[in-house]
Chain A
Amino acid sequence: MTNFIEILIRGVMLGSLYALVGMGLTLVWGVVGIVNIAHGEFVMLGAYLAFWSFSLLQLNPLLSVVFAIPVFFFAGTMIHKRITERLTKAPELSALILTFGMSILIWNLAQFFWTNTYRSVPYLTGSFPFFGLVFAKSKTVSFFLAIGITAALFAFLKYSRLGKGIRATSQNPEVALVCGINTMKMRAVTFGMGIALAGAAGAIVSLQWVIFPQMGVSYVSKAFAIVVLGGLGNIQGALAGGLIIGVLESLVTQYWSAKMAQIIPSMTILLILLLKPTGLFKR
């Protein structure tokens, strides 16, 4: 029983990280209307940012998580203003093709400059004991970071003026425009936020996993499963979806096999699209 609770909590910790990535993707998709295939590549870039900051500047990886947010937010808004804003009026296939191209460009550049050699950030090893249970220090700290960022995101969207503007644009862009909301600015800010969430998730991931240029692929597939599970544009749904995927992976690895756990994202997408295409959660 102790073991089961441990596995469950580990799944929740894993899921909190997936939720960050999923929320970023669903935000961009729901508000900006773009399917960003390159989303996983920003997770990878966030991980490398933490790695190089630690290796070259001896910067604490926890600080990398904090400053990844403004760095990636700025990068995201720039990318949107220069590249992806024009996709909002274009057919959906154009967005898919462009962001797919971006994805290939980014990970190939990463491979060229940083090679495929696995990297890791040797920070926070060992475990915390907790009422007879054992949890990895790196995963526990990552969990609290992810929860903190999620709470900040929810608070921003609910209480801030900009957040309300984003929600209005997401619900009905034409009416939002008529009400005087600068929808173009909302989209740029949202895209920036989506990329910032991916970058921050990547910096957190560097504490726990090995880092390599192709690592974004697995995050994108999980992010899509989360978006489908939670419902398109539904931030709360993405949070719940992330936690569900994390817990499922943890349980399936423990009680079935790691190889079966690999197929969870694709099976989730298949089942949800067949049985409840709008997602499990109401917006």
Chain B
Amino acid sequence: MKKEDKKELSRREFLKGTVIGTAALGMGGFAGKTALAQAKTPIKIGVAISLTGAWAREGELEVGGYKLWGKVINERGCTFGEVEKLGCPGPGLLGRQVEFVVYDDKSDPSEAIKLIRKLVVSDKVDLILGPYGSAVSNAIAPLAEDYKIPIITPLANAPVIWEGKKREWFVGVLPAAWRNLFGCLQIGKDKGVKTAAFIYSDTAFPIGATRPLVVRAKEMGMQVVLDEAYPKETADWEPMMSKAWSQKPDMIIGGGYLPDSIGLVKAAKAVNATPKMFGFLVGPAIADFTKSLKGDANYITGETFWEPFVKTPGNLDFYSAYLKEYKSEPSYHAAAGFAAGQILERAVKEVSNIEDKKALRDKLYSIKTTTIFGEYEVNPLGHPDSGWQIGKATNLIQWQKADPKRLLPNQVAIEGMAKQIVFPSGVKTADVIFPFPGWGK
């Protein structure tokens, strides 16, 4: 009897042991296989951006910056400047190749909303990098909160996005929009300007960039002779420019995006407008502006946040990598895109994974760093304007005739002219040419 019991017990024990052992092996194998599979699967980064429409060129430059960042990190495991100090462990981000899923929002905020939903729900992207511009960014900001995926938007700065909104999953890279052309007002004030006309496109960013300047101009004692938003669909800027110039202001400031800046300069020449200073948003920083206008771009000012010749950490490497990849000059749009990648890179490396979205979000709100683009620091969580960029500085550039012997390293002449930083005085590369000498001079 006892012998039989022993045999039954040991059979049971044997069976039990076999089952447990097999299950353990199986689970271990499965976990190992999953870990191995995960290590190989790429990190999918979703982007909905303007590749066609009014903001096509800016969107194209920005996504070019993203893709270059992806290429560099896939090759080296790190990009340039401050983030290199976190280590370059080998190809990819956390050992995984970065892959982009890019859709065209057609410069339409409502289209962007649909695309972000698609990226999250259908494409199941791991991370998202932001669109171009304030209008689209403002439209998709609530989705970041809904889906709890932190989004960095590198080229949006209208107050409407962050002011009083307590955004908890949406950070910006550019300082407040009103700073874009503030340099024009400061220079104007120093030079004794008395009157100013403001004409700008009726969308989030131009309104956010220009209306606060109207207030500041009045505070500085200037007379605002015109403050008017023209319809977004405007394709002929001559009536607006004629209206502005009919008041003979000392300064004409405003615009919208690249097409507006080109159209406004053409219109100014067509009505023979000769104020003491022109300041237009976005366009003047892009090479297309001068290639299109040629000599008429001379003396026009606009904002910049970055130029190839600024001495930010890693900038030289970025500039050469960009030239090698795209065979053309980067604008601040491309640099901002690349920098957004760098900020994401830092957050992911410091958190050491991409699944913990909350930890990534906390990092994005607490990081203080310098990228190839410049300083990055946002209002922290809990602040009424949380997520809004407070570290980055804005500069004013002016196109001036280039002296080939006096160009800075990486400062390029286009159509015989080069961009010079004319404000603020601490970083300027040349004095502003004021007043505007006239067309063709």
Contacts and interface: CB of A to CB of B under 8 A. Distances in A.
A254 B52 CA distance: 32
Q: Interface range on chain A: under 10, 10 to 19, 20 to 34, or 35 or more?
A: 35 or more
A121 to B, nearest CB: 11
B236 A209 contact: yes
B266 A115 contact: no
B439 interface: yes
Contacts of A212: 235
A116 B111 CA distance: 14
A139 B236 CA distance: 11
Interface stretch (A51-59, A71-79, A85-93, A257-265): A257-265
Nearest to B56: A117
A116 B263 contact: no
Contacts of A115: 51-52, 56
Contacts of A136: 238, 267, 270-271
Interface string B262-289: 1100110111100000000000000000
Contacts of B242: 6-7, 10, 254
Nearest to A214: B233
Interface centre among B51, B57, B231, B239 (most CB of A within 10 A): B239
Interface residues of B, number: 35
B352 interface: no
A253 interface: yes
Contacts of A3: 246
Given A138-B270, A258-B228, A209 B52 contact: no
A134 interface: yes
A256 B11 CA distance: 98
A131 interface: no
A210 interface: yes
Interface stretch (A22-30, A61-69, A122-130, A147-155): A122-130
Contacts of B267: 136
A212 B233 CA distance: 11
A118 B439 contact: no
B54 A118 contact: yes
B262 A127 contact: no
Contact of B263 (A129, A210, A215): A210
Interface in A202-229: 208-210, 212, 215, 218
A42 B57 CA distance: 26
B202 A126 contact: no
Interface in B313-337: none
A218 B242 CA distance: 22
Given A111-B52, A117-B57, A118-B54, A250 B239 contact: yes
B53 interface: yes
Interface of A: 3, 6-7, 10, 111, 115-118, 120, 122, 125-127, 129, 134, 136-139, 208-210, 212, 215, 218, 249-250, 253-254, 257-259, 261-262
Interface of B: 51-54, 56-57, 106-107, 202, 228-231, 233-236, 238-240, 242-243, 246, 259, 262-263, 266-267, 269-272, 292, 296, 439
Q: Which 4 residue pairs across A and B have the least CB separation, nearest first?
A: A136-B270, A116-B52, A116-B53, A253-B239
12 contacts: A7-B242, A115-B51, A116-B52, A117-B52, A122-B292, A125-B269, A125-B270, A126-B270, A136-B267, A208-B238, A258-B231, A262-B231
